Each structure stands twice: as C-alpha cells, then as structure tokens.
Chain A
C-alpha cells in the first residue's frame, strides 16, 4: 500500500484524477500523519480537520461526476499563519493577534481553494515573519524533521517542517528576506519566491510592503510550477500586483537546458558559505553543465551592501506597520521582535531612502549582468540548519551571526524583486540538506523552474525524506 503522505502533488493529483484514490482518503492520510507527529515538530498551529474532510468529500463528488478542476483538485495543503483564512484563526504567530479570525480569505488562499485544494490548517511562522529561524512565535519554535534539535529556517518554518515530514504535500509561504527559500534550504525542499508583483499579497499580514512576496514550499519544481500557475495573476486588491499574462508554467518545464547560460557570482555568495555547502553546489553545477548548460563566472558590484539595505527597509516598514500596537501592547510581542520593532524608531528617513535607492542601483547592475546570462546560481543559504538557540555559526573558521549569515544569499533577490528558487542538492557532513538557488529575470519564473526541474529529473535529492 502506497504511503500517500510521501507523494508529491503531481503523483497525488494523478491518483485522484484517475480515481485510484479519493480526496477523502488523501486528506485522512495527511490528518493521521499530523496526529502522529505534529506535536514533536510544532508545524501546524491550527487544524481544521472537519472542514478539510467536508471539502475533500465535495471534491470527491465533483471528480466522481466527471469534473476535475485541475492538478490541485483534492490536494491537501497548509497555509502559513500569515495568510488570512475566512473563519479560521490567523495569528501571525503573535499574541497580538491571538484571537484574530478573518472574515475573508487572502487572494492566494481563495485562488487555491478555487483550484480545489483542501486546507488542513495553519502553519507556524516566526512572529509576524520578522526573523529567519522560526524560533520566535507565540506557539514556540518549529523543529526540523531532519534533526529536531535544529532550526527549520524561517519565517515559513511551519510550512517547511510540514512538507518535509509529510504533514502536507505543499504549503504556502511568504518571503521578504528569504522566508520561503531559507526553510526550503534547511528542510530539503523546493521553495519558490516569484517576482515581486507576480502573486498578490492581499490578505497576507505584511512584514515589509516593498519586499513581501508570496509563494510555495513544495517537493519539486513541477509542484511549485503548478502552485504558481494557480495563484499568479493580477489582483486589484494589491496595488503592487502586476497586470501581465500568466504563462503555462508546468508546460514550460521541459527539462531541456542545452545552451542555457548560468552566471556564477562567487564573490559574496560562495566565498562566505561553508566549504561543504560550496562543494555540493559545485557538484550540482557540474551536473547542469553535463546537461548542456554553459557556466559563466560573473560579479555583482555593490552586492555587499545588501544586508544594510535590507535591514534599513525591514526596520522602517515593519515599525511603521506595527506603530499603533507598539503604543499600548508592546509587551505582547516576543522579545526579539519587540526589540527589532522598537529599534525602528531610531532609523533615519534618509537611510531608508538610501536603501531604496540602492535597490535601483543593484537592480540595474543585475539586469546588466543578466543581459548575458539566463539565470544566476548560488548556494541557497551559506550553511546548513543550525542548532535551535545557537546565535553564531562557524563559516570556514569565522564566527558569523546566524541572523546575518542565513539571509546573505537570499535577501539580495528580495531587494531586486527578481524570481528565485531554492532546491536541495545534497546532504552535508552533519546529515542536513544543502541547497542551490537559481535567480532569473523579472517575470521569468519559467526559466528558473525549468533549470530546477532539469536537475531534479537527473538527481533524487528532492525525493529524500527525513527519517522522522
């Protein structure tokens, strides 16, 4: 008997569409798995089993009557607890919103529901997405199923743990400095941050308006493409959402990368990553070259100012968003998040604007480089998942703050807004996943997903599951 919780969206969708299994059986399998292991991981923070079974029964009836809405019909999923879900508690991982029950779905949740998905519940997040480790939440830290003493990465850490441990085949996340890609990297998953404006942010609690992105944590690039196809497209509820056609992403994943030019920015992205991670990423690049890709060394001027710019923007925008709550309920935040928010009072407007000007400068430099290459490739994050509570990480003999090092390779692409995907590319000496990241031209998600898909057709790292 196939363990349904180990399958990806494509595999489950094929079984459902062929009526070999019903959406009810699939939902029950995942709910049983959640019952069995969620307490040890702290991934789901709110469960909706009755609603899930009712939705699954409706999907079953619809499919039995001959109407299949598409590859997501009857597929269970979880939403990061930052996404508004009508009638279901949405806390942002914070005591500030402990009793918040939205009356309307976020656009992404609504579009996924329209595609026929079955929501199992809500997933843990670093409080208000304001941190990269998922240690600070009103629900407590999320644990990594590859090693429960390690972080999942954040802030979509509940989504990462759930998909990696078979509690859901796919989950939503959000990414402001890397919050989809960092948990994907730590948990051995495929994490896609689409182009800024490709997917609506409406109904998702903001961390930082000018850098927030919505996207999936998935088990494969094809699954991420299916998710993106269901949620992308213009939304008048989000002023930043682009009014551009949505390509057929799954159809674009041919696996053919012959002649594709891959830019490799070693300075900054590789030079400050653990040697064991770089070795695995270089092996992945060699695999891609063997498939016909052309590797090109590139250098991105001014890239080293990314952390400063991102910091100025997070601190300014997040503090503005939380300003009224800080007035009278500051004690409801976790200490780390409260500190970041209150520090925002000290940020000068000119530094915020310097940071926003830097985004133009960096974007111009990257666009110039990408006139000659189709994608950029870097390590997903600079190190493997660190132990919970550990503030420093050793990178080639140098002690670096986890809060800085883990963000280093992902946040530049939140600043430029270009799409980026992280996929697993091996297991490091500590038994934890290592990952490679591909960044593409704005609105060219298809190319980075195709590179990821090509790699996943040739290797099986994305099929490895933690023994949890």
Chain B
C-alpha cells in the first residue's frame, strides 16, 4: 500500500454521504478532517505491527437455539 495522503474535508464529506449515509455540512466535514488526521496517523502504527499470523481477538460463537425455536 502506498504512502497515505492527509485526509481532506471533501473526502470526509463524500464518505459520510455516500458510504455511511450521514451527510455532513461542509464546515463540519472540515473540522472532522482536522480531528481525523492524527487518528489516521495512529492507524499507521497498527498497520506496521507484526500481525501476519495473528487472528482477531473476538471469536465467533454459533448461537445455539432450543428445539422450540
């Protein structure tokens, strides 16, 4: 994966509107882009961890019903 570019207000607004269905006002999108940038920087730290053969912590548990279900 290539080097990450800083997130923009336009990207925040587009993702919120088109992917999440939560349209944002432009000024709110701009504020969120500023708040989000350091968080996305933190995510780079996660991507650099030695996680190759490590499974996620939550384990799926099949739901057992009763004979009356």
> Bound complex: CA of A215 vs CA of B31, how far in Å?
36
What 0/1 pattern do residues 31 to 54 of B give for CB contact below 8 A with A? 110011001101101110111001
A46 in the interface (beta carbon within 8 A) = no
Residues of chain A within 8 A of B16, CB atoms compared: 342, 345-346
> Cβ of B49 and Cβ of A305 under 8 Å apart?
yes
Contact partner of A361 (CB less than 8 A), chosen from B36, B42, B51, is B51
**Which A residues, 287 to 346, have Cβ-Cβ distances below 8 Å to chain B?**
302, 304-305, 307-309, 311-312, 315, 326-327, 330, 339, 342-343, 345-346
> Bound complex: CA of A308 vs CA of B43, how far in Å?
6
Contact partner of B22 (CB less than 8 A), chosen from A239, A311, A339, A342, is A342
> Cβ of A361 and Cβ of B49 under 8 Å apart?
yes
A19 in the interface (beta carbon within 8 A) = no
> Cβ of B15 and Cβ of A308 under 8 Å apart?
no
Chain A's interface: helix, strand, loop or mixed, by majority?
helix
> Bound complex: CA of A326 vs CA of B54, how far in Å?
34
> Cβ of B43 and Cβ of A351 under 8 Å apart?
yes
Contact partner of B46 (CB less than 8 A), chosen from A239, A339, A342, A358, is A358
**CB nearest to A336 among chain B residues:** B35
Known: A210-B57, A327-B22, A342-B24. A307 touches B32 (CB 8 A): no
- Counting contact residues on chain B (CB < 8 A from A), the size range is 20 to 34
> Cβ of A345 and Cβ of B20 under 8 Å apart?
yes
> Cβ of B49 and Cβ of A356 under 8 Å apart?
no
> Bound complex: CA of A305 vs CA of B7, how far in Å?
21
Known: A307-B42, A356-B56. A302 touches B49 (CB 8 A): yes
B19 in the interface (beta carbon within 8 A) = yes
**Which B residues, 1 to 36, have Cβ-Cβ distances below 8 Å to chain A?**
7, 11-12, 15-16, 19-22, 24, 28, 31-32, 35-36
List 26 contacting pairs A-B, 8 Å CB cutoff, sorted by A.
A302-B49, A305-B45, A307-B42, A308-B43, A311-B39, A311-B42, A312-B43, A315-B39, A330-B22, A339-B32, A343-B36, A345-B15, A345-B20, A346-B40, A354-B43, A354-B46, A354-B49, A354-B51, A356-B56, A357-B55, A358-B49, A358-B51, A359-B57, A360-B54, A361-B49, A361-B51
Residues of chain A within 8 A of B22, CB atoms compared: 326-327, 330, 342, 345
Residues of chain B within 8 A of A360, CB atoms compared: 54-57
B40 to chain A, nearest CB (A): 8
In the complex, which of the residues B21, B42, B57 has the most CB atoms of chain A within 10 Å of its own CB atom?
Answer: B57
Residues of chain A within 8 A of B20, CB atoms compared: 345
Residues of chain B within 8 A of A311, CB atoms compared: 39, 42
> Cβ of A361 and Cβ of B46 under 8 Å apart?
no
B58 in the interface (beta carbon within 8 A) = yes
A364 to chain B, nearest CB (A): 8
Residues of chain A within 8 A of B56, CB atoms compared: 353, 356-357, 359-360
B68 in the interface (beta carbon within 8 A) = no
> Bound complex: CA of A309 vs CA of B50, how far in Å?
14
Q: Which residues of A contact B (CB under 8 A)?
A: 210, 239, 302, 304-305, 307-309, 311-312, 315, 326-327, 330, 339, 342-343, 345-346, 348, 351, 353-361, 363
**CB nearest to B47 among chain A residues:** A354
B67 in the interface (beta carbon within 8 A) = no
Residues of chain B within 8 A of A358, CB atoms compared: 46, 49, 51, 54
Residues of chain A within 8 A of B43, CB atoms compared: 308, 312, 348, 351, 354
**CB nearest to B42 among chain A residues:** A308
Residues of chain B within 8 A of A354, CB atoms compared: 43, 46-47, 49, 51
> Cβ of A357 and Cβ of B51 under 8 Å apart?
yes
In the complex, which of the residues A308, A326, A360 has the most CB atoms of chain B within 10 Å of its own CB atom?
Answer: A308
B30 to chain A, nearest CB (A): 12
**CB nearest to A330 among chain B residues:** B22
Residues of chain B within 8 A of A315, CB atoms compared: 39
Contact partner of A355 (CB less than 8 A), chosen from B15, B24, B46, is B46
Residues of chain B within 8 A of A357, CB atoms compared: 49, 51, 54-57
> Bound complex: CA of A342 vs CA of B46, how far in Å?
21
**CB nearest to B32 among chain A residues:** A343
Top 5 nearest A-B pairs by Cβ distance? A356-B56, A345-B20, A359-B57, A308-B42, A354-B46
